[in-house]
Structure 1
Amino acid sequence: MSPSRISKLLAVAALGALAGPLALSGPALAAPGTPWVAVDNQSKEHGKFQSGLDFDSAASGWAVGDVTDHTSGKTTAYIKRWDGAKWTDFAAGDLAGKGVALNQVASVSATEAWATGMTMPQQQRQRQFARSPRPGSGLSYRDRQGVHHADATTDQAAAGAPYVLTRWDGKQWASVAAPQPAAGKDATVVDVERIGDQAWAVGVEQKVDPQTGAPSEQQAFLDRYVAGKVQRAELPKELTAKPSSLLSLTGAGPNDVWLSGVFPTPEKDTPFAAHWDGKAFTVTELPVPAEFPNGWNADQIATMGGTVYVAGRSLYTDGTLTTGYRYDGKAWSAWTDRGLFEINDLSVRTDNGAMIAGGWPSGTSNISQYASFDGKAWTSHEQPKELAGKDGQVLGVAYLPGTDRAMGVGYTNDDSEWGGNYYITANKS
C-alpha cells in the first residue's frame, strides 16, 4: 500500500501512544438522502489511485495520487484533470516515471495549483490490502496498553527526505524544492489548502522507527506557497517548545486562518486549535473529556457561518474513539451532531451555506458514506450503486466553487488481492 492511501490518516494515527479503556462517542443519525453518482470509477487492478482532489472553479480542478505497477511493484505519481465535464489523465511533468506518490492538492486558479507527496522506493513488493479494522486504510493502531503496532503494508518516506512538491503554472507541472527537514527526520504534508490566492500546507517532521513504525521528535511546520515559491512560516513558541503536529487548516484569507493539530506524548495526546489573524497566533488546547483520558487528535478543521468545527479521533486495535468540538466566537463546546461517526475529510461551500463530510456512519461499519449539513440538519448519502455495500473509505471531499456540487475520492475493497475500485463520485450528475 502506498502512502497516498494513508494521506492525512497515517499522520493522524501515528502521533503518540494511547492507552486506556475503549469508549465510543458518535453523532445522532442523519436523515437519509439521495445516493451520490460515479463520475470516474476504475478497478484497482489498473493500479491508478487518487487520494486528494480540489477545484478552483466548476470547470477546473485536479485529483492526485499514484500508479502502482502490480508486476514490478514500482509506484509513480498520478494526476487527473477536471474540465467541467469529465476527468482525464494528465502528464505529471518532471515527476513522470519517478518513484513518487502524491497525496494532497490545492487548486488556486486555472494557472496555479500545488500538489504534495513523498518519494518512494524504486521497487516495492506487492501487497494485499489490510481489511481490519479499517479496510485498506494503512492506519496505525495501538493495543490497550498503548503499544504502537507497525503495519506491514505501510511504507515510510526515507529519513532526511523533504516532502515532494510540484506546481501547475497553467502549462505544465514542475517540481519545486521543499524545505529540507532536520537531520534524521522525514517531512510529511498532512493537509494543503487554498487560502485566498495562495496555497498553505501543514504537516510534521519526525523520526520514525524502521522496525516498529513508531514516531518520535515530532515538530509541526507551516509552509506557504506564494508567487511560485515556498515560504516556511515561523510558528509561535506554544507550538515549537514541545512535540507537536499540524493536521489540518482552513482560512478565509491569509489574515484569517485556522489550524488544528496535537501535542503528542507517550501518556496523552492533547488536541489544539490555533488562529492566525495576520499578526499573531492564538493557540487553544481543546478539552480532553473523561471518556477520552488519553486524548485525541484534532485532524479536521472547517469554518462555516462564523463557527469553527473540529473533528478528531484516537485509534485502537479494537475500535475507534471519535469526538468533535466547535467554537462560536466566544467559547468551545462539544460538537455531537456531526453527521458521521468518523470523519475523514470536510469541505465547506464557497457561500458558507453548506458542509460536506466523508467517512463512516458508525464505529462498526466499514462502508463509507457522505453527509451534508445545511446549517440546521445533517443528511446522509450513500455511495453510488456501483459501489454500494462494499468496504472502503472516502479519503477526500471538495466543493466545486460557486456551486452546490461536491465530489469525493476514495476506494472500495472486495475479496481479491487487488479487487475493488478507486473512484471519484459526485452529489449531482
Structure 2
Amino acid sequence: MSTFIVEGGHPLHGEITPQGAKNEALQVLCAVLLTPERVVIENLPDILDINNLISMLGDLGVKVEKLEPHTYAFQSDSINIDYLSTPEYIKKSASLRGSVMFAGPLVARFGYAVLSKPGGDKIGRRRLDTHFIGINKLGADFDYNPERHAYEIHAGSGLKGTYMLLDEASVTGTANIIMAAVLAEGVTTIYNAACEPYLQQLCKMLVSMGAKIEGIGSNLLTITGVTSLHGTTHRLLPDMIEVGSFIGMAAMTGSDITLKNVSYGDLGIMPDSFKRLGIELQLSGDDIIIPARDCYEIETFMDGSIMTFADAPWPGLSPDLLSVFLVVATQARGSVLIHQKMFESRLFFVDKLIDMGAQIILCDPHRAAVIGSGRLHSLRATNMVSPDIRAGIAMLIAAMSARGTSSIHNIDQIDRGYENIDKRLNEIGAHIMRVSN
C-alpha cells in the first residue's frame, strides 16, 4: 500500500492529455473472447484494473502481445475452459469487477461460464440481476455452487434471441447481454439498454467484427445473431471521468491548463454542468482550455432555488463525477446539493473534507449539501485514506488546493483508475510525492 504526500497551493500550467477510457477498456477487452481471430486495441490505459484484466485473459489462454505502450493484440484461439473451475480463477474474478463481463462472451461462444461475486469499489450495493436475467432470457441456466461461492452458467443447447425489457439501464449488464446476443440464434431486442458512449464504442467494435446491431446510441437495440465474429482493430475514446477530474483540479487550484484531444462530442452534459458551477471552459478544436480564475460562482436555477447535481443514466451526469463536483463546490461561491442516487456509500468520504474546513452537511447516504466559501476559508491539509477510485481523486484535488501538506493513504485505489497520475500532474506544476509503505 502506498501513500501520496501532497503539498498544496501550487497552480498548474501547461497541457495534459487524458488517458484511454477505463470503462470502455473493461468492456472491449472482454469482447476479444468472442472470436478466435486477432484483435488489436489501441489507447489502453496503463492502470491496475486494466492490467489485471489483461492478466486474467492470459490465464484463460488468450495470446497477449504488447505492440506499443498502450496498444495490445489479443487472440483467443486456445481458451482453457477448465481454468474457469479453478480456485485461482474464482479468487481473481472476485477481486476485479470487470471480469463479470467474461460471462456473456464465454457462454455465447463456449456454452459455459463461471461468475463469482465480483469486487471493486466499496460504494454500496451493485447488484447483478440485470446480467443474470438478461443472459438467462437468452437461454442460459445459472446454478449456484456454494462451495466455490460462484455461479456456473450453462447453455448446452445454445443461446436463442428474444425480447427483453431491462429493469435498469445497467452499463455492464447491457454490455454482457450484447456480447452474449451477438452469437445467439435469431433476433434479440433489448429495451431500456444503457447507451453511454463507451457502450456505443463496444457496439461499433462488435459491428466491425461482423456483428449485426441496430439502434446504436439509443436505448432500444436490435441484434441479429451471427455464427462467428472475426478480428478487428479498435481505438478507445479518452476517459471522460479523467477529463472531468482535470477540470476540477484546474478550478480548485486556480490553474491555466489545456486538456488535449478530449473527444468533446462524447462528453455529454458534463462541460455544461461544470459551467453551472461557474467554471469557464473554452473549446479550441478538440481541446478544452480552462483559464486561471480567482473564484467561480455556482448558478441557481431559474426560479432561484439551490443548484442540484444528480447522477443519472446516460445522457445524464455520470455517478463517477459527483465526487469531483462535490469537492469543487467547496471552494466556489454559493451552495449546491449533490444527490448521489445510484450508490449509497459514495459520499461517506466527505468527513475528511469537513476535517479540511469544507462546509458540508451530509443529509443522508445519498445527499450532501455544500456551502461554498468562495475561497474565503481555504481548505487545510490533513491525513486521509482513499476508500475508492473516485473518492480518492476527489481527495487528491482537495489536497492540491489546501494550505499545507496532506497525506493520502491507500492510493492503490487511485492507481486502479488513473495512469501515473502523480507523474503527469507533477509535469505541469503539482507537488506530489509517492511513498511506498
Taking structure 1 as the reference length, the TM-score comes to 0.26
Q: Which structure is higher in RCO with an 8 Å CA cutoff and minimum separation 6?
A: 2
Q: Which structure has the larger Rg? A: 2
